[in-house]
Amino acid sequence: MRRAATDWPQSARIWGCDRIVVSGTIADCEACPIHAEDHGEPGSPCVVLLQGLGMCVNDWPSEFLRELAQEFRVIRIDSRDAGRSGRCGPDIDPAAVSLLQRCPGISGAELPYSLRDMRDDVLRVLDRLEVQRFALVGFSMGGMIAQLVAARAEARVTAFAQICSSAGEARAPVPDEAWQRFLRVSRPFASDEEAVTWLTRYLRWCAAPTPLSADDAREAATAMVGQGHVPGGHARQLLALAGSGDRRDAVRAIRAPALVIGAGRDRCIFPESSARARQLIPNSELVMFREMGHALEPGAMACLNGWLRSKLVAGSARPAALTGGRA
């Protein structure tokens, strides 16, 4: 879940989007910048990290980042409407919430933006950084964005991994209870303290049964509010997740070596969606962590790091086994 990575060396660059959606009108402007953090030697194999709904670059586990940065150039990107990237509409967005209440009966034309627009944000960042070849890692909604990037930029993608994500289904594979919690975070709170209290419970619920103490969850929730979480941004991201249509053809088009990590106790995305992704992606393997919740557990991160090394570092031995379990 959300762990600070402030002790990891960082350099921040801000890149502008070509398009922003405000009140349903597409306009050419620089009002929605995308925040990216780039660390490592330019000549090292590049790994791009994409986070989930409402999450930001600091939510990657710090130990995973430290290990990754030893051998790779690592680029972390805040999606539009999250973290230090720009906001694509009002902080409180009743129109977006109204659309969410109609899900799944909304059309793509009604969305402020889609997962495909978020895909294009990623590719613009990489083009501006002059990154020609890269591996992709996406958690939850970040995995959905990564799928679209891998399909669009097929020749540039060296490896692909998704964690606790979907198979590109037209209807988001989100259980009803999780949907109601996502919807609550898309509505305003009376105060920052109410937001922190509610988000503390929300983060622990999402992670379970992965351990997340009340103190750690409150620290993460406080950071979430302090980093500029706004319900309108969360609502618009949730609309993109829920309303971007059937993307299974894009998932089938992924040609890079692929790792699908699923969580057997995931409350936020049905675990069987990971198995469906494995079936759709031609050159893929599936690892299920049977007792993991919707979280970035150390065991899953170690599995991912070893797999990336085996695919991207010359002379690295393939991990002896890719097995799930309790991390």
pLDDT on residue 151: 98
Sequence-ordered list of residues with C-beta below 8 angstroms from that of 228, at least 6 positions apart, any chain = 83, 84
pLDDT of residue 16: 36
Biggest CA-to-CA distance, the chain = 56
Asked if residue 113 lies in contact with residue 80, where contact means CB atoms within 8 angstroms, the answer is yes
- Enumerate the β-bridge partners of residue 16: 33
- The pLDDT assigned to 6 comes to 32
Q: What is the pLDDT of residue 323?
A: 57
pLDDT of residue 7: 31
Q: What is the pLDDT of residue 21?
A: 26
CB atoms within 10 A of CB 88: 23
Options 3.40.50.1820, 3.40.50.300, 3.90.730.10, 3.40.50.150; CATH for 12-312 is 3.40.50.1820
pLDDT at 325: 54
At residue 22, what is the residue type? V
Write down the pTM of the prediction.
Answer: 0.88
Task: Tell me the mean pLDDT per 10 residues along the chain, length 327.
Answer: 31 33 30 84 93 93 92 95 92 93 76 94 93 97 98 97 97 95 95 94 94 92 88 96 94 97 97 97 96 96 96 66 51
Phi, psi of 87 (to 5 degrees): -100, 140
- Taking each helix axis from N to C end, the angle separating 192-207 and 214-226, rounded to the nearest 10 degrees, works out to 130
Residue 232's pLDDT is 96
pLDDT tens track for 133-144: 999 999 999 999
